Amino acid sequence: MESISVGLLGLGTVGSGVVKIIEDHQDKLMHIVGCPVHIKKVAVQDKQKQRQVDVHPDRLTTNPADVIEDPEIDVIIEVMGGIERTKEYLFEALKRKKHVVTANKDLMAVYGTELLKTATENGCDLFYEASVAGGIPILRSLVDGLASDRITKMMGIVNGTTNFILTKMTKYNSAYEEVLKEAQALGYAEADPTADVEGLDAARKMAILARLGFSMEVDLEDVSVKGISSVTEEDINYSKRLGYTMKLIGIADRTDEKVEVSVQPTLLPDSHPLASVHDEFNAVYVYGEAVGETMFYGPGAGSLPTATAVVSDLVGVLKNMRLEVNGRSAVSPQFEKQIKTPEEIFAQYFLRIHVRDEVGAFSQITSLFSNRGVSFEKILQLPLKKDGLAEIVIVTHKGSKKDFQEILSQLSELSVVKEVKSTYRVEGNGLG
């Protein structure tokens, strides 16, 4: 090969980083591939816009078809975002026998299975390392480094925006709305932060992780999701008093051949490694039957960290081109999808309850738990300064999600219970 031509869809923050790395690391790419790698065309929305990198105007186009249909382009790198329209572009690129690298977790969470199938049918590579946890090579580690092991659980912080918000709330006792505004001002949160703070971004990433780690067609709708917008300073403070740190945690857990995938605000013991992951950083804890516990930590977003993952995928494509083995890396799911029922999901729970401060109130509450076989690990009981109420904070031992849902339903019906203020999952007391 005299040279490799790359087409780029998108030239925003990540796209600019990709251009910079390809240009700055040309000697390394030459060493790996044996020929120059150059960006031939870039699709953008506005050719006149000022950008972080200099790209010759002749290489810019506002028509993605100019990139996708160019017969000289070997690899398409997609960093433009979006789902439906972008899906059509990538299907067309694969049908034209072009290899694809994408950082688009939204697209891969929804259409990943179909795109991978199309790539295999056309003898093409489709790599998407940058779609989960930015610069952390977690997907490649699951596919290659841990390929011989049986993954039983993945648990992690996979959204930098929510981790930044919860870190600030914990360190400075700040209110959620106040920290959200700060995150938006710093560029960590979008003007519309819904996808981040309501857990959807993390859920898409966990669907991708579960699909790869468990070799099972896990879909986005299989992920149970709860965001952080209802987390209060009181919840954070009680967590601290009981020796916990609150994080938005994605969990993918496999028992036998059944899986649970969820995203939710979760209390972790202060001693847990994930509890010390602060600000916009990401980390994923992986449990394998053979390897035991491993943790992957690093920047979860940003121009160069994410672009590094994109270009690493590009290198993977180029190595395959050199060996003439493109399109053979995708492996069909090994296991039929089986999602755990609430009776099969076991966890500890944190509850904060406002009750009438009267004789026998606590015994009524404890009897509900004992009737379901759920015992307490930690309890705080504090009088409130209003309306003759007391506040009870409980951390349970492990029980089924079904039992916990039944207990919550029955608690709300008790006359002594004014309100169940908050409930959260507790993880990491022991394995997991």
Tell me the CATH number at 90.
Answer: 3.40.50.720
Q: Please indicate, yes or no, whether residues 20 and 123 belong to a single structural domain of this protein.
A: yes
User: Looking at residue 339, what is its pLDDT?
Assistant: 97
Nearest Cα neighbor of 307 from 138, 91, 77, 98 is 77
Query: Cβ(149)–Cβ(288) under 8 Å?
Result: yes
Helices and strands of the chain, counted as H and E runs: 14, 17
Residue 188 tokens, joined: 């960590």
Which token pair is 43?
Answer: 């699709």
> Can you give the pLDDT of all 432 residues of the chain as single tens digits?
688 999 999 999 899 999 999 999 999 888 888 889 999 999 999 998 888 888 999 999 999 999 999 999 999 999 999 999 999 999 999 999 999 999 999 999 999 989 999 999 999 999 998 888 777 888 888 888 788 889 999 999 999 999 999 999 999 999 999 999 998 998 888 889 999 999 999 999 999 999 989 999 999 999 999 999 999 999 999 999 999 999 999 999 999 999 999 999 999 999 999 999 999 899 999 999 999 999 999 887 777 888 999 999 999 999 898 888 888 876 677 889 999 999 999 999 999 999 998 888 889 999 999 999 999 999 998 888 778 899 999 999 999 999 999 999 999 999 999 999 999 999 987 544
Both 360 and 294 in a single domain? no
> Two tokens at 186?
């710093």
Q: Give the integer Cα–Cα distance in Å for 22 and 6.
A: 10
The pLDDT of residue 430:
57
Confidence (pLDDT) at 431: 43
Q: 3-class DSSP state for residue 165?
A: helix
Neighbours of 264 (CB within 10 A): 22
- The catalytic site residues sit at 205
Whether residue 308 sits in one domain with residue 367: no
DSSP state of 306: H
Question: Same structural domain for residues 206 and 177?
Answer: yes
What CATH number has the domain bearing residue 252?
3.30.360.10
- Tell me the CATH number at 365: 3.30.70.260
Nearest Cα to 317, choosing from 57, 188, 174, 126? 126
Same domain, 173 and 291: yes
Both 290 and 153 in one domain: the answer is: yes
Which residue, of 275, 291, 323, is where some domain finishes?
Answer: 323
Give the range of the structural domain holding residue 56, as residue numbers without chain letter.
Answer: 4-134+303-323
Say which DSSP state 15 is in: H
Let me know whether 272 and 144 are in one domain.
Answer: yes
SS3 91: helix
List, for residues 134-178, the tens digit of each pLDDT value: 778 888 888 887 888 899 999 999 999 999 999 999 999 999 999
* Residue 328 resides in a domain: no
Alpha-carbon distance of 192 to 308, in angstroms, equals 27
Q: Euclidean distance between the first and final Cα of the chain, in Å? A: 49
Domain identity same for 236 and 186 = yes
- Residues 286, 311 within the same domain: no
d(C-alpha 229, C-alpha 296), whole Å:
27
Residue whose entry in the numeric block shows the structure tokens 């932060």: 193
pLDDT at 384: 86
**Does residue 346 sit in the same domain as residue 418?**
yes
Query: What is the pLDDT at residue 136?
Result: 84
Quote the number of domains for the chain: 3
Q: What gap in Å lies between CA 222 and CA 210, rounded to an integer? A: 10
Residues 175 and 105 in one domain: no
pLDDT, residue 129, reads 87
Half-sphere exposure of 41 (CA within 13 A, CB side): 19
